[in-house]
């Protein structure tokens, strides 16, 4: 007659403890991921060519969602924002553009060399899509308080502030900004930081 094997109680408890620990770790990891995505950093993919060649279709960028809790966006930064209702975008659609003018700035196009100017200073926009003009649409906008004037780098393929000049002069509210895109993270050969072009360093503050 064979004796039936009796499982050791200690082993059962040990396996249960390991399973419990693993489940707790998964839950904690999921909560951390949710907190990071909601409040700190989020990945966005590029669905259109409006920011070429700086960003191309299917690039993925990391967006800092904390920075603008401490300061407003600055000229030259690339931002993700929820478009104003007047822009007739989809309810869950986010835009990504470059900040050209901030509160008080007078943004014009174009000067006698067909350049965009800010407070009378011309921009040398070497980041524009090859062959694009700074703008085929003339504009002269003084940016109201709490708002931004934004343009895509692929000017001939970007529905940006120029396309909405009849609604608050095409400007967007700062409080609709999701965050600053600071790095292209995918695909790996496209990895690079999204720094502010040097041309913006020479722009004076509005009087």
Clarify whether 97 is annotated catalytic.
yes
Catalytic residue selected from 13, 14, 50, 161: 50
3-class SS of residue 36 = helix
CA pair distance 116, 111, nearest whole angstrom = 7
50 carries an active-site annotation: yes
Active-site annotation holder among 48, 60, 97, 193: 97
Structure tokens at 78: 């690339």
> Which residue in 65, 82, 71 sits closest to 180, CA to CA?
65
List Cα–Cα distances, 53 to 88, 103, 130, 141, in angstroms: 25, 27, 8, 26
* Calpha distance 37→44 (Å, rounded): 11
Number of other residues whose CB lies within 10 A of the CB of residue 153: 23
Contacts of 192 (CB under 8 A, 6+ apart): 183, 184
Catalytic machinery residues: 50, 97
């Amino acid at each position: 007659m064979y004796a039936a094997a009796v499982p050791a109680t200690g082993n059962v408890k040990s396996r249960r403890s390991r399973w419990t620990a693993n489940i707790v770790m998964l839950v904690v990891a999921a909560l951390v991921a949710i907190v990071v995505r909601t409040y700190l950093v989020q990945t966005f993919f590029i669905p259109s060519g409006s920011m070429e060649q700086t960003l191309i279709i299917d690039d993925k960028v990391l967006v800092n969602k904390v920075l603008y809790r401490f300061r407003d966006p600055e000229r030259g930064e690339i931002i993700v924002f929820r478009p104003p209702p007047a822009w007739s975008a989809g309810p869950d659609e986010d835009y990504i553009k470059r900040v050209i003018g901030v509160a008080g700035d007078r943004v014009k196009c174009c000067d006698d060399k067909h350049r965009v100017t800010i407070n009378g200073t011309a921009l040398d926009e070497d980041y524009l899509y090859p062959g694009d003009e700074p703008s085929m649409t003339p504009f002269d906008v003084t940016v109201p308080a709490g708002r931004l004037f934004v343009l895509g780098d692929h000017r001939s393929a970007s529905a940006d502030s120029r396309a909405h000049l009849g609604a608050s002069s095409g400007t967007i509210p700062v409080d609709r900004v999701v965050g600053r895109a600071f790095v292209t993270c995918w695909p790996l050969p496209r990895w690079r930081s999204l720094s502010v072009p040097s041309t913006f360093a020479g722009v004076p503050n509005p009087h």
